[in-house]
Amino acid sequence: RKEVEQDPGPFNVPEGATVAFNCTYSNSASQSFFWYRQDCRKEPKLLMSVYSSGNEDGRFTAQLNRASQYISLLIRDSKLSDSATYLCVVTVYGGSQGNLIFGKGTKLSVKP
Amino acid sequence: DADVTQTPRNRITKTGKRIMLECSQTKGHDRMYWYRQDPGLGLRLIYYSFDVKDINKGEISDGYSVSRQAQAKFSLSLESAIPNQTALYFCATSDGTGGSYEQYFGPGTRLTVT
């Protein structure tokens, strides 16, 4: 089983749609979780951290289920500018504490 | 000015040549990383450094070496480039203190080995 798994997509949605991305991770000892956004040929940038209680930032909501080792990202009222690849990221446990494991990403395309 | 810079931004080189990719940061972070990204494979860690005297191999270090010249500078070398090292290379930094593991990426270097 891969350490961080995501549906690669692409997700093609119309403007205004709600879209959800899912991610599973294999190491139950992972401590920190993130969603990064990567535009085509650009560097990844932190979108939001993911907390056990769930957290929201405007149109974006992230959820964590430690028991199921599952992370989600919900985007409401999609905008054209949301088109990007979304990377699910978890920390490594142990000697290289703080190192990140990246999923391969889910591509989102928002259409007019 | 960008906090994390990489030079060159694009490079085409021939098989067998030595090439160095450079990374500089003004964030004052101790931790620095080198990744490569290939289509369909995601980001993979090549080397990382938690401070100037600390260098560690990542997932795919074979064929690469690094040098941490100062807190702000971390260079990646390909001693003898081969075509399957064609990829997009990213440098990243993180603070790492207080459980802060967010990484900040440079703009990337697109390397083509012919």
pLDDT in tens, A28-65: 888 789 999 999 989 999 999 998 888 999 999 999 99
What does the alpha-carbon distance between residue B91 and residue B108 come to, in Å, rounded to a whole number? 7
Contact call for residues B105 and B3 (beta carbons, < 8 A): no
Q: Give the tokens for residue A33.
A: 């979780």
B44 Cα to chain A: minimum distance (Å):
8
A53 Cα to chain B: minimum distance (Å):
18
Quick one: pLDDT at residue A97? 55
Judged against a pLDDT cut of 90, whether residue A103 lies above it is answered with yes
Q: Which residues pair with A91 in a beta bridge?
A: A100
Please return the burial class of A106, using the count of CB atoms within 10 Å of its CB with bins 0-12, 13-18 and 19+: buried
Residues in B touching A99 (Cβ below 8 Å): 33, 45, 48, 58
Quick one: pLDDT at residue A96? 56
Residue range B42-94, pLDDT digits in tens: 899 999 999 999 999 998 999 999 999 999 999 999 999 999 999 999 999 99
Give the pairing type, strands A106-111 and A11-14. parallel
Q: What integer is the mean pLDDT of B98-111?
A: 87
**Band of the pLDDT at A1, cuts 50, 70, 90?**
low
Q: What integer is the mean pLDDT of A96-101?
A: 71
In terms of pLDDT, which residue wins out, B102 or B107? B107
Check CB contact under 8 Å for A99 and B48. yes
Q: Which amino acid is at B55?
A: I
B59: left (phi over 0), alpha (psi -120 to 50) or beta: alpha
Q: What is the average pLDDT value for chain B, to the nearest integer?
A: 93
Residues in A touching B33 (Cβ below 8 Å): 99
